[in-house]
Amino acid sequence: MANAAEDSSIYYVPHSGWYPIVLAAGVMLMLTGFATWLNATSAGEPGSWTQTIIGFSLVSVVLYFWFAKVVAENQQGLANAALKKSYVWGMGWFIFSEVMFFAAFFGALFYARVLAVAWLGGEGEKALTGEYLWPDFEAAWPVVNNPDPTLFPNPGESMASPGVLNWLGYLPFWNTVILLSSSVTVHFAHTAIKDENRAKLKTWLGITVLLGIIFLILQAEEYIHAYQELGLTMGSGIYGSTFFLLTGFHGFHVTLGTVILLVQFLRSLRGHFTHHDCFGFEAASWYWHFVDVVWVGLFLFVYVF
């Protein structure tokens, strides 16, 4: 294996291990456990989180040891140019898949707002469906009234923007400021690596992680406000479902990105990353910038317009 590290044309292949099979088992337990809980809840029965927690624990343990092994191999000089190139391509394709993931969600929002609402309101080639499905429907977005409040509770208000002049008291605006600021701080951390300034690297990377945590706290506060004060839930019809689907999955990605950046911060404390060897940090920063761009789209099309 030492020759593989010296010859960039040879792809380094690690020894066989237990990581893949245990990871697959953990994912299976986590997803099937979650699906079982959803089915039980929808049937009005008390569901159990035990299987999901076991699966999640297995996934977490495997990822910890697996990534620790990859980092150790890199520190030993086993990651040659061929392997590092595959890392770049792998991360690039992963982010591309995430772009397609959110493109589907934005597409669903577009369909609901531009097409379905217009049809129910009596416009377009499928206008007649509105006469049978919802005769009293008013074609306006956000849709806060529903045809059957017993099945789809009507929220009191939406999370739409109150107007630019009132943004200082608007949580989504501050979350936008926080995420855009975090893109700047992670860029400063990257610049610090290039300048071999470890103090600035730790400072700016630590600030980025802190901003990610603050964003998640504010989003939790936003959800509490939506549920308790506005009456907006997942069961509030098309607006509630698209709102929580888009913002919820983005929040999951922010959580993942914050954890990834936290790992890079802990690595920086141990002296990792140099100007010529910092792909772990670069991959984390790429992902974080992607998450920030998605939020800008969410802020514009879910909250403002």
What number is the average pLDDT over the span 26-32? 96
Report the CATH superfamily, name and number, of domain 80-304: Cytochrome c oxidase, subunit III, four-helix bundle (1.20.120.80)
For the segment(s) 1-79, the CATH number from 3.40.50.300, 1.10.3210.10, 1.10.510.10, 1.10.287.70 is 1.10.287.70
* Mean per-residue pLDDT of the chain: 91
Q: How do the domains of the chain map onto residue ranges?
A: 1-79, 80-304
Q: How far apart are CA 98 and CA 224, in angstroms?
A: 27
- Of the listed ranges 78-87, 175-184, 211-220, the least confidently predicted one is 78-87
Asked if residue 263 has pLDDT above 60, the reply is: yes
Asked if residue 53 has pLDDT above 90, the reply is: yes
pLDDT category of residue 227 using cuts at 50, 70 and 90 = very high
For 210-248, b/e burial (b = at least 16 CB within 10 A) is: bbbebbbeebeebbeebbeebebbeebbbbbbbbbebbe
pLDDT category of residue 75 using cuts at 50, 70 and 90 = confident
Tens-digit pLDDT profile for residues 159-209: 999 999 999 999 999 999 999 999 999 999 999 999 999 999 999 999 999
Asked if residue 7 has pLDDT above 80, the reply is: no
- Burial class for 147, CB neighbours closer than 10 Å (0-12, 13-18, 19+): middle
For residue 302, give Cα distances in angstroms to 11, 107, 121, 135, 243. 45, 12, 21, 26, 7
Check residues 84 and 181 and name the one with the higher pLDDT. Answer: 181
pLDDT category of residue 1 using cuts at 50, 70 and 90 = very low
φ, ψ of residue 264 to 5 degrees: the values are -65, -35
pLDDT category of residue 9 using cuts at 50, 70 and 90 = low
Asked if residue 16 has pLDDT above 90, the reply is: no
Percentage of residues in the chain with pLDDT exceeding 70? 96
Asked if residue 210 has pLDDT above 90, the reply is: yes
The one-letter amino acid code at 43 reads A
Give the pLDDT of residue 33.
94
Give the pLDDT of residue 279.
92
Could you tell me the two tokens for 260? 């990834």
Could you tell me the two tokens for 82? 């061929």
For residue 37, give Cα distances in angstroms to 7, 30, 42, 236, 248. 51, 11, 9, 21, 19
